[in-house]
A and B are shown apart, each in its own frame.
Chain A
Amino acid sequence: MLTWRGHLLAYLLTALVMVYLSYRLPGWLPGDFVTAMYADSHVVLGAEQEAALRERLQVDGGFGSYLLALARLDWGTSHAFRVPVSDLILNALPWTLLLMGGAHLLATMLGFVAGVEAAWRRGGRIERTSVGGMTVLQGVPEIGTGVLLLMVFAYHLGWLPAGGGATLYVDHGFAERALDVLRHLALPLATLLLAWFPGNFLLARASMVLVLGQSFLDTARAKGLPPIRVRYAHAARNVLLPMATRFGLRFAFMVTGALVVETIFSYPGLGTLLFNAIGARDLPLIQGIVLFSSLAVLGINLVLESVYARLDPRVRVYGRAL
């Protein structure tokens, strides 16, 4: 068994491997910025110009200097935007966090409560139809629901904006600005909710059904506890672990998970940024986003492990919670 120091060290080593892989990444990608930029353009570069341009964009000083630069928070400069990569990522991050975090939290909490209640009413008509319905809904891809919502609510009904994170070039007060952000958030959030809620619901329900068969619930009932206490304090409490696991695993993939939805609704988050960067072969930006998202996966994992131990004392690996 690892001590928690050893455990942290393992995490650091993994992070180092990630950094190295991101350093090697540009060499493995086909095409480069120059080709992507000038291939279809009317400007034809001479061989000399092209070589000069490539040399200017080339900043390879070896892994050591890459690492040092990273440590100084210098993640390079985007070829396409001509601004530091870190600025681009930091600008896009809040949007992604808002959309993904909001969708995850909502989907998890709603799925948890609905799943617990459904399992409690096991065998009833509502429960059976909801399980069937959710299983079907789980199979519908985000792109389908996203486009459908876009057509109905933005195009036909016109209730909600079709894209973006906020209305630009308008000076609002705080309340109006918040409302504006929420209106822009509604459709992508709803798309993600529809995509994730069924999975959370089914997981919560299945875990709860397993818990309901256990004898400590007989004891809880025999103690004469009010039903809500039996259901939540005793039974549902044991469903938190699988829910948190799922939350963590899904949340860790926040960049790639948002790619489709952010693109459909041209939401200004990391997904859109990555999509555009790949289109433009903006190597430093791709490198930055990939590195950032893989470090996020690691970080979230680390947080999750300590959360586990609080949710279920049986998984305390280090004798005490981290």
Chain B
Amino acid sequence: MGRLSVQELSVTYRAENHRLTALDRVDLKLAPGRIVALVGESGSGKTTLGRALLGLLPASAAVSGQIRLDDLELSGLAETQWNDLRWRRVAMLFQDAAGSLNPVQRVRDQVAEPLRVHRGLTLTEARMQADGALAGIGLDPALGTRFPHEVSGGELQRALLAMAMILEPEFVVLDEPTAALDSGTKGAIGRWIRQAADAGTGMLLISHDLELAVALADEVHVLYLGQVIESLPGPALLNNPMHPYTLALSRSVAGLDTHRDLGGVRGDALYRVLHRHPAGTGETDEHAHLVGSAVSHAECHLPARGCLFTPRCTQAVAECSTREPALEECNGHRIRCLRGGIVTELRLQGVAKRYGDAHALHPVDLELRAGETFCLVGESGSGKTTLALMAAGMLEPDLGERVFRGRPMDSWPRQDRHFLARHIGVIQQHPARAVSHRLSVFDIVAEPLRIQQPRLGRDALRERVFAALRDVHLAREPEFLQRYPHELNLGALQRVCVARALVTEPSLLIADEPTSALDPGVQAKVLKRLLDLQIEKGLTMLLVTHDLGLARKVADRIGVMRAGRIVERGPAVRLLNHPEHPYTQELLRGSFRQPIAAPVR
């Protein structure tokens, strides 16, 4: 059994007046018995890579780099040599199972065709073997005599798999093998793929179904614009992504046990092109650009230097658009990121607080990664608010260290403190007590800006305040802006507080029961807006709540607090579905909708 590997594989497609970069120096190794998954959005080059392994790229493709099967160099083989390898050693199933079989030939004959062409079997022999193969994958052999349109999608996919395995190839490329299948069929096909791999076939699984990749793959490569942006072990894809793109992808999965609202990747999909401008209009040499389809040309004509993910990244810094990152080893993953993957926004180490003899907080560690939502849940008096205030820099811990964006918080010079205030937005627990009753709505929201950016012009200030108010669905009429807190109801006031926290466009939002006073309709809107901001700006959130239902909908990770300690923490999916600590189990039992029975006397 051999190995199939690609090295430094680059593919560009020639188009009318530019070239499209589909793959950019990709390395990949397939080995017998292993399933390697390629994930990434459409246009990331997944299918191109699969096709390259069989020499099936269109004539408009320019390929460089190496493709090796054992010691045989495949790139540059003549078509007849390719034909000798295809299906016999490397088979491929394409996207769209329904269209993958010839509509005017019977299923069995198409399954049998490779036997006739590659092994020279007679029609009868080949048909017999094809029947055997169909039966082997759990299909009624009588189905083979039907035409493709007379067969259901799941059966068709099985027949295709039987066809792929009919010559017992060493490697199989599966392009979206379970797209458009119901979950039962999907499961059965997944199990069959795993079995085939365990029997020694090397598989390349191309899919945007991350759950399938997690369930099947030994190794996952995340492709972005033709580059591998992260390589990681299968299970880590959903619960421990290290690249911001992988995180955004993992949030876009509507898993059965995921409760969090679906996220998405910031911005629109881009393409990578190499082109030259017509003579006399700027650069006339061929140069690389990122071009989008959903935005205007000028807006999206981004230079493709540096990291390709920069325009859509929430944690990009100036260096990202000038220096190209390499794929580097990092905690068992390989990631392509100058900042070493998702950065740590805030780190609290052994922070503790005592009031007299009462331990409000025992030494606690807490780490918030950029762009995630961490929910602290627990009963009143468990230390949630104390911890949140410390994280916000509003309460000094007795012990421990706090690091915000790589700088120790406590040793910051006083004059730099406004940096903290600008980048950490805070929503306090009691809205009525958190605002000055002497300020109007406009002034409340504008105040942080007036302090942080005193040189901001009047119009710019108004604009920022209005934008913040719009974000929380509040009116911008002069009559409303002039009101004072006591003239507002609690819900409106809480939204004013949210607007005030967001007006400086902070990167970290610490919110203590941010929606407790809102009616359900407005609460839903405000939370949705916060999650949108998270996708758009990479907002990191620390939410304190005792509403477990709310935590389920927004949290990436949850920490359960009790008596000044975090008793359990972990990814929301794991913690909510398989709570380990007895207290977490008790909390969950208590909060799920069950009729409350009167105590029996």
Tell yes or no: B114 within 8 A of A by CB. Answer: yes
Instruction: Answer whether A238 and B96 are a contact pair too, CB < 8 Å, given A224-B118, A314-B147.
Output: no
Distance, CA A227 to CA B79, complexed state (A): 9
Bitwise interface map of B from 101 to 142 toward A, beta carbon under 8 Å scored 1, else 0: 111110000000110011000000000000000000000000
- Contact: A312 with B99, CB < 8 Å? no
* Min distance, Cβ B299 to any Cβ of chain A, angstroms: 32
Find chain B residues with CB under 8 A from A237 CB: 102, 104-105
Quick one: which of A214, A225, A314 contacts B99, CB cutoff 8 A? A214
The yes or no answer to A50 lying at the interface (CB within 8 A) is: no
Bound together, the chains give a CA A65 to CA B460 distance in angstroms of 99
Q: Is B546 among interface residues, defined by CB-CB distance under 8 A?
A: no
Q: In the complex the two chains form, is B102's CB within 8 Å of A234's CB?
A: yes
Not counting A222-B54, A224-B87, a sample of 14 additional A-B residue pairs whose C-beta atoms are within 8 angstroms of each other reads A215-B94, A215-B100, A216-B102, A216-B103, A219-B93, A224-B83, A224-B84, A224-B114, A227-B79, A229-B117, A234-B102, A313-B147, A314-B103, A314-B147
Can you name 15 A-B residue pairings with CB atoms under 8 Å?
A: A215-B94, A216-B99, A216-B101, A218-B100, A221-B86, A223-B114, A224-B86, A224-B87, A224-B117, A225-B117, A226-B83, A227-B79, A313-B147, A314-B103, A314-B147
CB < 8 Å neighbour of B102 from A221, A222, A224, A238: A238
> B88 at interface (Cβ–Cβ under 8 A)?
yes
Most buried by B among A215, A219, A220, A225: A219
Return chain A residues, CB-CB under 8 Å to B92: 222
CA distance A237 to B118 in the complex (A): 22
Partner of B149, one of A215, A219, A234, A313: A313
Residues of A within 8 A of B85 (CB): 224
CB distance from A245 to the nearest CB of B (A): 15
Indicate if B271 sits at the interface (CB-CB under 8 A): no
| In the complex, chain A residues whose CB is within 8 Å of the CB of B117 | 223-226, 229
Q: Is A295 an interface residue (CB 8 A)?
A: no
Does B56 lie at the interface of the complex (its beta carbon under 8 Å from any beta carbon of A)?
yes
Counting CB contacts under 8 A, is B82 at the interface?
yes
Task: List chain A residues, Cβ under 8 A from B94.
Answer: 215, 218-219, 222
A311 interfacial contact with B, CB 8 Å = yes
A112: min CB distance to chain B, Å: 15
| Mask of A287-316 contacts with B, CB within 8 angstroms, 1/0 | 000000000000000000000000111100
- Measured between alpha carbons, how far is A311 from B147 in the docked complex, in Å? 12
User: Would you call B101 and A314 a contact (CB within 8 A)?
Assistant: no
A-B pair count, CB < 8 Å, reads 71
Q: Does A238 lie within 8 Å of B104, measured CB to CB? A: yes
Cross-chain contact A311 with B104 (CB below 8 angstroms): yes
* CB of B349 to closest CB in A, whole Å: 55
Counting CB contacts under 8 A, is B440 at the interface?
no
A266 to B84, CA, bound (A): 58
Q: How large is the interface on A (under 10, 10 to 19, 20 to 34, 35 or more residues)?
A: 20 to 34
Considering only CB atoms, which chain A residue lies closest to B59 in the complex? A123
Chain B residues lying within 8 Å of A226, measured Cβ to Cβ, are: 83, 117
The answer to whether B147 touches A224 (Cβ under 8 A) is no
Q: Are B101 and A219 in contact (CB under 8 A)?
A: yes
B95 at interface by CB-CB < 8 Å: yes
B91 within 8 A of A: yes
Q: Which residues of chain B are within 8 angstroms of A214 by Cβ–Cβ distance?
A: 99
B149 and A222 within 8 A (CB) = no
Contacts A223-B87, A224-B114, A312-B103 known; A218 to B149 CB distance under 8 Å?
Answer: no
Q: How far is the CB of B274 from chain A (nearest CB, A)?
A: 21
Residues of A within 8 A of B105 (CB): 234, 237
Bound Cα distance A312, B102 (Å): 11
Contact A314 B100 (CB under 8 A): no
Taking each of B54, B83, B91, which has the highest tally of chain A beta carbons within 10 Å of its own beta carbon? B83
Once bound together, how far apart are the Cα atoms of A234 and B110, in whole Å?
Answer: 10
Provide the B44-55 mask, 1 if CB < 8 A to any CB of A, else 0.
000000000010
- Once the chains bind, are A225 and B83 in contact (CB under 8 Å)? yes
CB distance from A207 to the nearest CB of B (A): 13
B86's nearest neighbour on chain A, judged by CB, is A224
Cα A224 to Cα B88 in complex, Å, equals 8
Please, which residue of chain B has its CB at the minimum distance from the CB of A230?
A: B83
* Chain A residue at minimal CB-CB distance from B90: A222
Q: Give the residues in chain A near B56, CB-CB below 8 Å.
A: 218, 221-222
How far, in whole Å, are A226 and B103 apart by their CA atoms in the complex? Answer: 20
Complex Cα distance A225/B149, Å? 23
A232 to B206, CA, bound (A): 30
Q: Which residues of A contact B100 (CB under 8 A)?
A: 215-216, 218-219
Q: Which chain A residue shows the least CB distance to B95?
A: A215
Whole-angstrom distance between the alpha carbons of A220 and B101 in the complex?
8
- Distance in Å: Cβ of A226 to nearest Cβ of chain B: 7
* Complex CA distance for A71 and B243, rounded to whole angstroms: 86
Name the B residues within 8 Å of A224 (CB-CB).
82-88, 114, 117-118
| Across the A-B interface, the 4 shortest Cβ-Cβ residue pairs | A224-B86, A313-B147, A224-B83, A215-B99
Q: With A and B bound together, what is the CA distance between A311 and B104 in angstroms?
A: 7
The chain B residue sitting closest to A237, CB to CB, is: B104
Residue of B84, B102, B118, B150 near A220 (CB, 8 A) is: B102
Query: Chain B residues near A220 (CB, 8 Å)?
Result: 102
Give complex CA distance A218, B97 in Å. Answer: 12
Name the distance in Å between B78's Cβ and chain A's nearest Cβ: 12
Residues of B within 8 Å of A215, CB to CB, are 94-96, 99-100
CA distance A218 to B58 in the complex (A): 10
CB nearest to B83 among chain A residues: A224
Instruction: Tell me the complex Cα distance, A314–B523, Å.
Output: 54
CA distance A313 to B440 in the complex (A): 76
B113 and A225 contacting across the interface, CB-CB below 8 Å: yes
Contacts of B83 in A (CB 8 A): 224-226
Smallest CB gap from A222: residue in B: B92
CA distance A229 to B87 in the complex (A): 15
B103 and A223 form a contact (CB under 8 A): no
Closest to A223 in B: B87
CA distance in complex: A237, B104 (Å): 8
Give bound CA distance, A226 to B147, whole Å: 23
List chain A residues, Cβ under 8 A from B150. 313
Known: A219-B94, A221-B56. A312 touches B104 (CB 8 A): yes
Chain B residues with CB under 8 Å of A225's CB are 83, 113, 117
Asked, given contacts A313-B149, A314-B149, whether A222 binds B86 with beta carbons under 8 Å apart, the answer is: yes
Contact present for B113 and A223 (CB under 8 Å): yes
B422 to chain A, nearest CB (A): 54
Please indicate the chain A residues that have their CB under 8 angstroms from the CB of B113 in the complex: 223, 225
Write out the residue numbers on chain A whose beta carbons fall within 8 Å of the beta carbon of B82: 224
A218 to B100, CA, bound (A): 8
CA A219 – CA B79 in complex, angstroms?
Answer: 15
A224 CB to nearest B CB, Å? 3
Residues of B within 8 A of A216 (CB): 99-103
Identify the closest chain A residue to B82 (Cβ): A224
Measured in the bound complex, the distance between the Cα atoms of B96 and A116 in whole Å is: 25
Shortest CB–CB separation between residue A321 and chain B, in angstroms?
Answer: 12
Residues of B within 8 A of A312 (CB): 103-104
Point out the residues of chain A lying under 8 angstroms from B95, CB to CB: 215
Question: Whole-angstrom distance between the alpha carbons of A214 and B97 in the complex?
Answer: 11
Quick check: B103 and A238 within 8 Å, CB to CB?
yes
Q: How far is the CA of A214 from the CA of B99 in the complex (A)?
A: 7
Q: How far is the CB of A178 from chain B (nearest CB, A)?
A: 38
Q: How far is the CA of A313 from the CA of B114 in the complex (A)?
A: 23
Contacts of B102 in A (CB 8 A): 216, 220, 234, 237-238
Chain B neighbourhood of A234, CB < 8 A: 102, 105
Let me know if A222 and B104 touch, CB within 8 A.
no
